[in-house]
Amino acid sequence: MALLQTVRDPARLRELTAGELRDLAGEVRAFLIERVSAAGGHLGPNLGVVELTIALHTVFESPRDRLLWDTGHQSYVHKILTGRQAGFDRLRRSGGVSGYPSREESEHDLVENSHASTALSYADGLARADAHLGRRDRATVAIIGDGAMTGGMAWEALNNIAGGPDRPLVIVLNDNQRSYAPTVGGLAEHLTGLRDGHGPGVFGQLGLGYLGPVDGHDISAVQDALREAVALDGPVVVHVITAKGKGYRHTETNDLDLGHAVKPMDPHTGQALKASPPSFTSVFGEKLVELAERRDDLVAITAAMTEPTGLLPLQRRFPHRVIDVGIAEQHAVTMAAGLSMGGVHPVVAIYSTFVNRALDQLLMDVALHRRPVTFVLDRSGVTGDDGPSHNGMWDLSVLQVVPGLRIAAPRDGARLAELLTEAVAWDEGPTLLRWPKGPAGDDLPAIATFNGIDVLRRSGSMDVLIVAVGALAGLALTVAEGVRVQGIGVTVVDPRWVTPVNPALADMARRHRLAITVEDNSRAGGVGSAIAQTLRDADVHTPLREFGIPRRFLSHGSRAEVLAACGLTAQDITRAVAELLTGLDTAEPGIDDLGTWPVRTGEER
């Protein structure tokens, strides 16, 4: 990689000949395969933009010229060419480069663009600001994948770019016919027509300049098109055709996702370095098929994420009962309301971080109409290596305000299956399940139930009540053992349905000297906050301490690293519990015998 080793900033690229740039592209591709295979990450999208990125950095002078990546997972090559090669040794890990543009990493990253369909709006604002200030010495360039063009926000931006005053703005449409999976809908068909040479189509009709289609793997051709776009001195779409996963046989032949996001793997075989244990997502996928086989009215909806959200098994079993709307979460949710009104029970599968986009639709179109729609949120809580924008740390805070929405947080795979069954059977309004990225782990059976609340552990006197939320139940049990060996009595419970708060939690808290909640959601407005309000309303004076995620954006790293940085470790919580109890006056003894509580079997819950 002799040439690549000389590239410390993009200016170096402008010193290379056309032949050297082609050689550099090969070195960059080899570098990507080596480093992403070791760490895991978005391999296929970046293999597809090697030549395009080189061309961009030879025509434009970043950071003076602003390059905006939509979505940001296609920015690895941009990072390599802007002096961050060393950071790829710890890609997406603490101390290494993130998987998305990062303002903390480099002046070449203007926006941390990891959610799709936003770059055109950023670009419109930047171009308008330059026009307002009279600046004409720099370019604004938005690089947007065709998958991101399925998002409504992109078209809102195009409408304003085309309808506003004439100002320089280059829109590079990276057309590889895919987002995660193949691009769907009328736009995909329209772009196929453009690739076949049927004119500028909708872009020209909107009043935008249009250049292309251009072979995105021909550096010289892309350079020529970009220079022509700049010369037009107005908003121009440069339509570039690329191949996702190009140059690596294991991604080129992976029909499912063309190596969109890979786990650490052997670069020679393309096989994962270790087998993955069953995940929450896979448990969901299997259970949904089972339910769909019993209920003809179940239909699933995804926003361009069929396989990552666990819907691939259902799609294979019932192809016409999985609807992919593209990157259009708002449409997905309101369409689900319409399906429900028509007699269908929709299951809407979305990453937690993306459901934020559809809050208004969930609130006004689903909940206000009391529609029985089931939402399942993958990647809730701390996802870790995907960085601050992908942590699902806000769903409980945001969605607990929705009237009539029932929210469950399964602690293991068995509970996920149970709660999903209960959710799709509920016909009085919307339901929601949320779980984290990663393995479901061992099942954690309850030793008893109390008014629908699972009791996971009971030992000693009634000192501390630990309310475990979802996948942090295992952590709560470890904390329970840590305080038990210090002579502290402990009860660990899992509410299963966390919203609305089960009033039985107030009865349980009243019997203890201290109550704590443990959740992988923001402490601001999370389950702990809701339980604290319930205790106040019930006139329960037991002190409550919430353990959760602080109100700040979290840096990328492993899930364990990020949780530790938030104080969500057994050691931290155990120490805090002991200190809190030490500071309390001895409380009036509670009821020590669990047998006095009404206990029901699982079937009676």
Q: Is beta strand 298-302 parallel, antiparallel or unpaired with respect to 322-324?
A: parallel
Q: Is 148 annotated as a binding residue?
A: yes
Q: Is 556 annotated as a binding residue?
A: no
What is the rounded distance in angstroms from the CA atom of residue 277 to the CA atom of residue 54? Answer: 39
Evaluate if residue 184 carries a pLDDT over 90.
no
Q: What is the mean pLDDT of residues 260-273?
A: 89
Evaluate if residue 429 carries a pLDDT over 90.
yes
Instruction: Look at residues 196, 134, 131, 185 and name the one whose alpha carbon lies nearest to residue 161.
Output: 131
> Which active-site residues does the annotation give?
244, 329, 357
DSSP for 397-439 reads: HHHTTSTT-EEE--SSHHHHHHHHHHHHH--SS-EEEE--SSB
pLDDT at residue number 588: 52
Q: Is 102 annotated as a binding residue?
A: no
Q: What is the mean pLDDT of residues 519-547?
A: 96
Strand partners, 448: 455
* Mean model confidence pLDDT for the chain: 92
Of 69-73, 213-217, 576-580, the one with minimum mean pLDDT is 69-73
Q: Is 254 annotated as a binding residue?
A: no
Evaluate if residue 180 carries a pLDDT over 80.
no
What is the rounded distance in angstroms from the CA atom of residue 68 to the CA atom of residue 208? Answer: 19
The alpha-helical segments, DSSP class H, found in 426-497 are 473-484
Evaluate if residue 164 carries a pLDDT over 80.
no
Q: State percent of the chain over pLDDT 90.
A: 79
Q: Is 524 annotated as a binding residue?
A: no
Q: Is 122 annotated as a binding residue?
A: no
Q: What is the mean pLDDT of residues 515-541?
A: 96
Domains of the chain, each with CATH number or no CATH: 4-252 (3.40.50.970), 280-434 (3.40.50.970), 449-587 (3.40.50.920)
